[in-house]
Amino acid sequence: MARPAYESPLERAWRITYLVICGLIFFFLVAPIIVIIPLSFNATPYFTFTKEMLSLDPSGYSTRWYDNLINSGEWTRSIQNSFFIATISAIIATTLGTLAALGLSRREMPARAAITAFLISPMIVPLIITAAALFAFYARINLSQTYFAIIMSHVVLGAPFVVITVTAALSGFDNQLIRASQSLGANQTTTFFKVILPLLTPGIVAGALFAFITSLDEVVVVLFLAGPKQVPMTVQMFGSLREEISPTILALATILVCLSILLLSFMEMMRRRTEKMRAGG
Amino acid sequence: MTDAAVPGAIPVPEPKAALTTADGKPLKQALRKANAKARRNALLLVLPLFAFLLITYTIPIIQMMTRSVSNPEVASYLPNTAEAIADWDGTDLPSEEVFAAMATDLKNGGRATIGRVAARLNAELAGIRSTMMGAMRSADEFQAPFKEALLADDDDWGDPRLWKLIQRESRTLTPAYYLRALDYEYNEDGDIVRRPDYLRVYTQTFWQTAWMSALITVLTIVLGYPVAHLLATLPASRANLLMILVLLPFWTSLLVRTSAWIVLLQQEGVVNDVLVLLHVVDEDGRIRMIYNRIGTIVAMTHILLPFMILPLYSVMKTIPPSLTRAARSMGATPLRAHLTVYMPLTVPGLAAGVLLVFILAIGYYITPALVGGESGIFISNLIADRMTGSLAQLRLALALATILLVGVLVLYWLFNKLVGVDRLKFG
C-alpha cells in the first residue's frame, strides 16, 4: 500500500499496530480450523500435540482415526444418510427457490418486500424454534423419524439461500439482453434457455451449493426428527462430542474442512466467471 | 409493427377517438390486461415455494403457538363437570348438580381417560390422582345424593381447592405454560404468584441469553470492524486473498468449529499446553476455559464473526477514500476524519451486522450445548431439554419457543425496516 508522504511517525506507528491487530484477528479466525488438521493424524487418542509430533517423529503420526472412520459402520452409514438427504433436499430447494426468485425479480411483482420477507423467514427464525414446531407437527401426523420429514424440513431451511443468491444474480442481469434476443427473433422459451439461464447458472449453482451445505451441516432439526435409521453425520458427531470424545471426529472434521476449501474455490471460480461474462469477455 | 407510419410522416391523431391496439381494443384496457397477466405470471412463479412454506413451515409454527395455550384434558374428559361447574361462584363447595355431573363423568370415563385428566390435575395439586382414581373404581355404586357419596368415598372431595382447580382447568385455553415460562404459577388458591427464587430458571436464562448475545455482538464489532476496514481499503488482489481467511471459517461446518474450540480450550488442550510451555501457568494451574460461559462466548464470537465482517465490508467498499482525504486536506486529524466522516457512513453495515449477529446468537443451541456446561447455556438449551419430556413439558417448551420467536420477529421487523432483507448477501 503506497502511503502518503505527509505521514507522521505517529501515524506510521499506528498503521503498523493496526496491521498487527488485524493479523491477530485473522489468526483467531483461521487458526482453530487449521489446528485440527495435524491433530487428526495424532497417534495417541488425545486432542493435543505430543512430543513426537512436535519433533516431527513419524511414530507420532498415524492414520488410525481415518481407518476408524472408514471402517466403522455407524460413521459410514451416517455419512451416506447425510449426503442422501442433502442431495434430494438441495434439488427440491433449488427448483422452488429459483422459480420464486424469477418471480420476485419481475417488475410487476406485487407486495415484493412482504413476500420476500416471508420466503426468507426460515433463515431468521432460530433453528430451535423451527425444530420444536416441526417436531410437534410431524409427530402429530405420524411422520417423524422418516426421511420425508427430514428432507421437507431441509428444503424449508435451504430454499431461502437459493432465493437470495438467485435474486442477487438476477439483480445484475441486463434486461436489454432479453430485448436483443427477442428482436433477433427468439421466442420466450428460446430466450429463457439460451440467454437467461446460462447467465443465471452461477447464481443457481451457488444457491444449490448453499442449500446442499445447509442440509449437510444442519444439526438441530435432525436431532429431533431423525430416528435411528436416518441418523446423519452431524447428529452422530454431536452425540460423540457430548459423550466420548474421540479423535475420529477430528478425522471427519478435517475431511469437512477440505470440502469447504473445495467449495470455496469453486464459488470463487464461479464469481470470476460471472464477472468475466458481465464484462463481456 | 406492420402498421407503422411512413418514416418521416407525423401521425395525426383522430380527434376524440381513443387510442387502440391493432385489433381495435382501447389501448388503456389492453395495457391493464397485459399488466394483470404479467402480475399473475410473477405470482405463479412464486407460488410453489410460497405454498410449500405455508404447509410445511407456517402451519407447524401456528400449531406450535396454539398448542402452547391449549388445555383440552378437563373439558374433553370431564365434559359434564366442566359444563356444570362453569357457574359456580367459588365459595364453599359446589352444588349437588356439580357432584352429580362428576359422578356421571367418572362412571362414563374409562380408565385411560380419567387417568389422563387425573395426571393433568395432579401436576397442579398433589394427591388429586388417587382421589379421582379411587372414586372412578367405585363410581358404579354411587347413588344420589352424589355429594354425600363422593365425600364418603374420599374426604378430599370436600376440599374447595380441588373444585377451584377443576373449574380453572375446565377452560380449553390456559395461560399456565406462559406463566411457567415467565416463572409465575397458580398457587393453591388459584392466584397468580411468582415462583420461589430457586425455581426461577426461565427468566434468568432469558436474561442470560440476551446479555451473552449482546456481549458476543460487541466482541464481533471490536474484532470485525478493523478487519472489514482493512479488507475494504486494500487493493483488490490482496483483499481477495485475505477475504479467503474470512470465508473459510464462514463455510466451515459449525460442528467442526465447535469441536476445534473443544480441542483448543480443554484443560489438556492446546491453549493450556502453550500457557504451561510459556510458564504463564504451571502444570497444576491449567485454566478451565470450556464447559462454562467463557467457552460459549469464545466459540460463538468465532462462529459469528464473519456475519459481522461481511456486511461491514460490503458497505465500507462503497465509501470513496477521497472523502477522508478531503477531510484531511481541510485540516482534520486522521482520528477526527475517521470519526466524523468515515464512521457515520459505515453505520448501515454496522446495523446490519449487529442485528444479524444478535438475532443468530439469541437462537443458538448447538454451541452452548457442547461447550456451555452449566453456566453458559442459552434459552434454546432449556427448550430442547423440555421438548422430549411429558406433554406438559412439551407445551412449556412450545410456550418458551413462542416467546423467543416473538422476540426474534420484532428484531427481524426492525432489521427489515433498517436494512431490508433483500440486501442480504453471502460470499
Residue A83 belongs to domain with CATH number: 1.10.3720.10
Question: CB contacts < 8 Å between A and B, how many?
Answer: 272
Residue A36 to residue B259, Cβ atoms within 8 A: yes
Residue A26 to residue B245, Cβ atoms within 8 A: yes
Domain match, A191 and A234 both: yes
Domain match, A235 and A135 both: yes
Please report the pLDDT score of residue A281 as a whole number. Answer: 41
Tell me the residues of chain A between 217 and 276 that have a Cβ less than 8 Å away from chain B: 217, 219-220, 223-224, 234, 237-238, 241-242, 245, 249-250, 253, 256-257, 260-261, 263-264, 267, 271
Please report the pLDDT score of residue B236 as a whole number. Answer: 86
Please report the pLDDT score of residue B1 as a whole number. Answer: 43
When comparing pLDDT for A235 and A187, which is higher? A235
Sorted by sequence, the CB contacts under 8 Å of residue A67 that are 6+ apart come out as none
Grid cell for residue A3? 502511503
Residue B60 to residue A137, Cβ atoms within 8 A: yes
Closest B-chain CA to A101: B46
DSSP class of residue B1 equals: -
In-domain check, residue A255: yes
Alpha-carbon distance B156 to B93, whole Å?
12
**Total of domains in chain A:** 2
Cβ atoms within 10 A of the Cβ of B128, count?
Answer: 22
Report the residue from A21, A39, A137 with minimal CB separation from B226: A21
Give the start-to-end residue ranges of the domains of chain B: 29-70, 72-172, 201-423
Task: Report whether pLDDT(B187) > 60.
Answer: yes
Domain match, A20 and A121 both: no
Domain match, A47 and A87 both: no
Picking from A17, A25, A166 by the largest number of B CB atoms within 10 A of its own CB, the best residue to mutate is A25
Domain match, A35 and A82 both: no
In-domain check, residue A66: no
In-domain check, residue A163: yes
Complete DSSP assignment for chain A: ----TT--HHHHHHHHHHHHHHHHHHHHHHHHHHHHHHHTTBSSSSSS--HHHHTT-GGGB--HHHHHHHH-HHHHHHHHHHHHHHHHHHHHHHHHHHHHHHHHTSTT-TTHHHHHHHHHHHHHS-HHHHHHHHHHHHHHTT-TTSHHHHHHHHHHHHHHHHHHHHHHHHHT--THHHHHHHHTT--HHHHIIIIIHHHHHHHHHHHHHHHHHHHHH--HHHHHH--TTT--HHHHHHHHHHS---THHHHHHHHHHHHHHHHHHHHHHHHHHHHHHHTT-
In-domain check, residue A4: no
pTM above 0.90, yes or no: no
Return the CATH fold of B201-423.
MetI-like fold (1.10.3720)
Domain match, A82 and A56 both: no
Across B212-234, average pLDDT: 96
How does pLDDT run across B142-183, given as a tens digit for each residue? 888 888 888 888 888 888 888 888 888 888 888 889 998 999
List beta partners, residue B20: B26
Confidence label for B3 from pLDDT (cuts 50, 70 and 90): very low
When comparing pLDDT for B366 and A267, which is higher? B366
Domain extent at residue A27 = 9-60
Domain match, A15 and A81 both: no
Residue A126 to residue B35, Cβ atoms within 8 A: no
Domain match, A131 and A261 both: yes
In-domain check, residue A227: yes
Task: Report whether pLDDT(B8) > 60.
Answer: no
Q: Does A46 reach chain B within 8 Å, measured CB to CB?
A: yes
How does pLDDT run across B54-94, given as a tens digit for each residue? 999 999 999 999 999 988 888 888 998 998 888 888 788 88
Domain match, A42 and A91 both: no
Closest B-chain CA to A131: B384
Most confident of the ranges A245-249, A258-262, B389-393: A258-262
Alpha-carbon distance B262 to B323, whole Å?
45
Closest A-chain CA to B417: A113
Confidence label for A174 from pLDDT (cuts 50, 70 and 90): confident
Tell me the residues of chain B between 315 and 334 that have a Cβ less than 8 Å away from chain A: 334
A260 burial type by CB count under 10 A (0-12 exposed, 13-18 middle, 19+ buried): buried
Closest A-chain CA to B230: A22
How does pLDDT run across B230-285, given as a tens digit for each residue? 999 999 889 988 999 999 999 899 999 999 999 899 888 888 888 888 888 888 88
In-domain check, residue A80: yes
In-domain check, residue A256: yes
Task: Report whether pLDDT(B5) > 50.
Answer: no
* ipTM confidence score: 0.89
Which residues of chain B are within 8 Å of residue A137 when distances are taken between CB atoms? 59-60, 63-64
Closest A-chain CA to B256: A253
Q: Three-state SS for B20?
A: strand
Domain match, A97 and A133 both: yes
Least confident range of A81-95, A106-120, B15-29: B15-29
Q: Three-state SS for B89?
A: coil
Helices (H), B86-195: 96-108, 111-122, 128-137, 146-153, 160-169, 176-181
Confidence label for B424 from pLDDT (cuts 50, 70 and 90): low
